[in-house]
Every structure is written in structure tokens, then in C-alpha cells.
Amino acid sequence: MGDGAGAYNLACTYQNLGDYRKAVAWFRRALDAGDLSALVPLAQAELYGCGTRRNSKAALAKLQRIAGWNNVSWISPFDREQAMIVLAASLRDGWLLRRDYPASLKWLRRAAKLGSAEAIGLLEDLGE
């Protein structure tokens, strides 16, 4: 009914229950209603092929676009950080794309600079 936050919450509920197809459908509804926080979970679903057809090229393009948005009010810092962390993990592990450790570190450092405790912890684990 146009309530982006409600659709997002339903999507998270379905995701937590393991019903990924319904989760993706509700994340799309949230996005259509203007809730841009649905972009990251949708990109992750495309990247992993969870609840939708795998499309790593489109997912990575979305994640790079989200991660690159600076000082915009329509995307939260948390969503930017999450996009950077997913990119870093994909590049570090070499899953679905060529392994690129320096690029992985670049994304983690950018997320850490934004204050991401997760990125800071990952960098510490990697000896950075």
C-alpha cells in the first residue's frame, strides 16, 4: 500500500524465516515505495542467487553504485558501509569475480573510515 518501511520490515521477517523469494518480493515493493535501504539486500540476493536468479554483474554494479554515493541524504551511511563490506568480501574471497586483495582492503578501509565497527574488526583480523 505504499508503505516502504512496512514492506521492508515484512521482507526482513521473510528473510529471517528463510523464505527468500517472498523476502525479495517485499524488498522490491519497499524499493518501489521509495525505501532505498532495500537496495543492499536486493543486491545481495542477486549476488548470491537467493530468492531470485543470480546476476552477479548487476549485483556488483548496484553495490559499487551504493558504496560510491557520498554525502547523499537518500542512502544511509549504514547501507553504504554494508555495500562496501559485501564488495570487500567478494573481492577477498574471489567468489563470483577475480580475487583482488588490494581492492578488498580499499573497500574495508573506506567502510572503516565511515565508522563501520565490522570493517574495523575485519581489518584488525587481517593485520591492518
My answer on whether 65 and 122 are in the same domain is yes
Q: Is 84:72 a contact under the CB 8 Å cutoff? A: no
79: which 3 cell numbers? 547501507
Tell me how many domains the chain contains.
2
Residues 77, 126 within the same domain: yes
This prediction's pTM: 0.80
Please give, one letter per residue, the 3-state secondary structure of 90-104. Answer: HHHHCCCCCCCHHHH
Q: In angstroms, rounded to a whole number, what is the distance separating the alpha carbons of residues 53 and 60? A: 14
**What is the domain range of residue 114?**
55-128
Predicted pLDDT of residue 37: 86
* Domain co-membership, 116 together with 74: yes
Identify whether residues 78 and 111 lie together within a single domain: yes
Cα-based angle 11, 75, 115 (whole degrees, multiple of 5): 105
65-90 confidence digits (pLDDT tens): 888 876 566 778 888 899 999 999 88
**26 and 80 share one domain:** no
